[in-house]
Structure 1
Amino acid sequence: MDKYKITVFTPTYNRQRFLKRLYESLCTQTYSDFEWLIVDDGSTDSTEEYIKKLIKSCDKFTINYIKQPNGGKHRAINKGIHMAKGELFLIVDSDDYLTNQALEKVVYWENTLKNEKVKFSGISGLRVKETGELIGTTFNGMYKDTTYIERTKYGITGDKSEVFYTEVMRKYPFPEFEGEKFLTEAVVWNRMAVDGYLMRWTNEPFYICEYREDGLTHQGQEKNKNNFEGFTLWCKEWLEYTNSWILKCKIIGLYTWTGRNKGMSYKALEDKLQVNRILQIGLYMMTHLYKGIQYIKSCLNKLRRKNEHTFENANLD
């Protein structure tokens, strides 16, 4: 029997300075049947001291805190799923926070599933920036029922605020590779989809976020290169799941480009991904050209902004 309706789960690593805002957003929730579960992934800042102070002073909800050796967000999620006491599991990163009615809306939408809950892995809301700008794209209407893999057919792209049934999550632990500290969450979400689990996607904003330069979403290609076994797993499984040759070509090109930047031979990459070497080389060249064009565009945009700034200052003088 679940003790709470919702576990708000926060994996954190050296983010003490941002936790106050998340905590305050939990204090202002219009729904109260939840726990805040924090897995500290080996922080070396004052996170532990700060959370222990909150535990002593907070009288609005239960805070549970666990510290483990640094192993990456996916290992923290595995730990959190094991410790969670809520029926629903909502991941909120330590430098993000929730809208005031987020948990109330989560429960509302979960209740709309009624007798069909067994078909669903959970429900999802939108992520927005502090400016109100939507992360990714969405559809017209109130909700869509589809899998994580099929969602793009309905115009649902980018990061969303997924809320999963805890028992479903426990069936799909994140694979762990020795020496690697990152694995995209899409590996698990895709596996749920392949097994037929639907998600009820809504247009309710649950989650407010800011993508920071030192965050996981900004580490880009380096995290794929440094966590190559996990990246290989994601690529291999996507190639099995998708029927889109355009997407297959993008994945093979990105994989080969990443592996070559890591210093791997075409033969080694061919053996790992089980893809024709000639195709790999061709797609690698196309990806290399695309990356070069993107870099040039980025440099030109920076130069344009610099010139605009110089022009504005000259006019002020």
Structure 2
Amino acid sequence: MQITVFTTTYNRAYILPNLYHSLLRQQTNDFEWLVIDDGSTDETAQLVAGWVADGPFPIRYFKTENGGKPRAINKAVELANTPYLFIIDSDDYLTDDVIPFFLSELQDFVRKPELVGLGIMRGNNPHQPLGSPRFGDQDFIDAPHLERNKYGLNFDCNELYKIEILRQFPFRVWEGELFSPEEIVLYEMDLHGYKVRWYNKVGVISEYLEDGLTVNAFSLLKKNPMGYAMSFNHQLKYKKTFKERFTSAYLMICYTLLGKNIFYLAESNDKLMTVLAFPVGVLVSVRRWWQFRKA
């Protein structure tokens, strides 16, 4: 096997069958499905157990305490039995040809050390991406995540990654927090010179649910201040203008204070800007604390 399809799930027994059935429709069984159950209290375990017994491809199921997606991704990178990891959310499903498509592209992918991943678009259907990509007459574009806007790819996509490279960039996690923006890791790989090959192809059909991460952004900020403090701190590595860097610095200060980890400020990627922005960061943290208290 070459590919591990990885899904982390939490109380999604009601919709996870959509993903399983899309895996059944793939024109190959040359992959494994790794499911990490992030502390579900519904019937997920029993559901997946039936699939493990009857499925035509290997399924491995691990149940953990509720630790959030970053911890689950770290665990998946550790547990995967193949060279490549394809991350797919539990509320999404695949078009029928995604795995065969990836397999057909691996030979060239392996020969290019600067490529860390193969990316496909999400869509409402196989012919309609969620955004307005600009590929011109090209079938694919090699670019880092930080240049996605340039090609109209500033919407959710999915990538297959080389696991040997992912292992060099684990997610940092914080006690009591379950989330941090994936961009921290993705952009760090960019800064090390890696690129993704983005294909002009819809391969994942998305359904944004009321219990999903995308529609609960304010709640994520409130519950995961240090995850976002890290994200704003990381922006100080690549933001260019004074205004952008000042904004990133005071927001990093704001969420560090809300997370009660003030010593994290010593890890700032721009200490002078952090000193300049500190008074504003304190004021913004008070305002944000009041907003969180009322929410």
- The TM-score normalised by the length of structure 1 is 0.78
Distance change (3 Å), C-alpha of 1:105 and 1:263: closer
Amino acid at match of 1:150: E
How many Å apart are 1:251 and its aligned residue? 3.7
Higher helix share: 1
2-structure distance, mates of 1:10, 1:83: 12
1:129 to 124, 128, 134: 124
1-structure distance, mates of 2:101, 2:225: 38
1-structure distance, mates of 2:165, 2:220: 27
How many Å apart are 1:195 and its aligned residue? 1.0
Stretch moving more, 127-136 or 151-160: 127-136
2-structure distance, mates of 1:142, 1:106: 14
Q: Retained in 1: the 8 A contact 2:91–2:206? A: yes
1:235 matched to which residue of 2?
232
Q: Retained in 2: the 8 A contact 1:256–1:280? A: no
Amino acid at match of 1:162: E
Please give the secondary structure, in 2, of the residue aligned with 1:206: strand
1-structure distance, mates of 2:203, 2:183: 20
1:111 to 107, 110, 113: 107
2:293 matched to which residue of 1?
none
Q: Which runs of 5+ in 1 are unaligned?
A: 289-317
2-structure distance, mates of 1:280, 1:37: 46
1:101 matched to which residue of 2?
97
1-structure distance, mates of 2:196, 2:240: 21
Q: Retained in 1: the 8 A contact 2:116–2:161? A: yes
1:87 matched to which residue of 2?
83
Q: Are 1:196 and 2:196 counterparts?
A: no
Matching of residues 1-317 of structure 1 within 5 Å = 4-58=1-55, 60-113=56-109, 115-116=111-112, 118-130=113-125, 133-140=128-135, 141-245=138-242, 247-248=244-245, 251-252=248-249, 274=271, 275-276=274-275, 281=280
Please give the secondary structure, in 1, of the residue aligned with 2:16: helix
- The TM-score normalised by the length of structure 2 is 0.84
Distance change (3 Å), C-alpha of 1:105 and 1:26: same
Amino acid at match of 2:190: A
2-structure distance, mates of 1:10, 1:25: 13
Q: What is the aligned residue count?
A: 279
2-structure distance, mates of 1:64, 1:218: 29
1:214-243 CA-partner distances (Å, limit 9, x unpaired): 101111122122111111111101121222
How many Å apart are 1:245 and its aligned residue? 4.7
